Amino acid sequence: MNATKSHKRSRSADASSARDRTAARFIEPQKKDARKIKKKVYECELNKLQIELVKLQEWIRHEGLRVLVLFEGRDAAGKGGVIKRITQRLNPRICRVAALATPTERERSQWYFQRYVAHLPAAGEMVLFDRSWYNRAGVERVMGFCTEPEYREFLRSCPEFERMLIRSGIILIKYWFSVSDEEQEQRFQARIDDPVKRWKLSPMDMESRARWVEYSKAKDEMFQCTDIKQAPWYVVAADNKRRARLNCIHHLLSQIPYRDLTPEPIELPPRQEEKGYVRPPITDQTFVPEVY
């Protein structure tokens, strides 16, 4: 009997140890995320990723791909910072950002997805949506800007709409930036203290802060209905801005197979000689004052 009890205790200890090891695998990444990346390391890695983005851009142009990337998440989650780093070195004619304003009266009378369709990518383009049609599942739902039937219809039709986009040949990638309550509060406070960033705060942001739990419930229901096999949600842990940027860009690059089509170095042709050409007096031109 004692041997049996001892054996049970041993199995229980082994199971507990296994659970601890399993938990550690999930806890450790969070500890790593909490550590800051040194600026020099971050800038070096970002530069490498941006070089790859340029290669991806050329591949999209060459192959006539249509790429659509959605960026969603709570206010101050870091969506804008990632979008800025993605587009920083790219050609705006190939990679452009769609950040739609509040719908007009006419747009509100249209089919809900209609105003977003006008911004979808053509061949050889990549479009980054800084918030998208998921406004209906988030702010419109929580703030009461849509009716219950409109909200339910969105949850039903959104997966079919996205499947239709994918069947048409569009590459659709969806990111949700996840930020903790404490980190969002710090970023809001930083915006309040910084006159350059204060414009980013609106009464809607303050209201969303007050309705944190309602937004959480809305996000959970949105994921349940729209996290589909053809277009899954990819969650970006965004409490650490630098890590979030690098991880998101790295993941984006992994979603589209591409080849390096970087042109070979070229030589500049000789400049035309100024034969018989006389420049007008420099005093005829109006220059910007050199204050600095």
- At 263, the pLDDT band (50, 70, 90 cuts) reads confident
pLDDT at 25: 32
Strands 95-98 and 171-178, sheet pairing: unpaired
pLDDT at 31: 42
Strand order through the sheet with 171-178? 95-98, 125-130, 66-73, 171-178, 233-237
Distance CA 16, CA 82 (A): 40
For residue 169, what are its two tokens?
A: 């040949």
User: Which of 69-78, 197-206, 271-280 has maximum average pLDDT?
Assistant: 69-78
Q: Which domains does the chain have, with CATH numbers?
A: 35-103+111-254 (3.40.50.300)
pLDDT at 11: 44
**Measured at the alpha carbon of residue 17, what is the angle toward residues 14 and 21, in degrees to the nearest 5?**
135
pTM of the predicted structure, to 2 decimals: 0.84
Lowest-pLDDT choice from 24-28, 53-57, 162-166, 229-233: 24-28
pLDDT at 34: 55
Residue 61 near residue 258 (C-beta atoms within 8 A): no
Mean pLDDT of the chain: 89
Q: Does the pLDDT of residue 43 top 80, yes or no?
A: yes
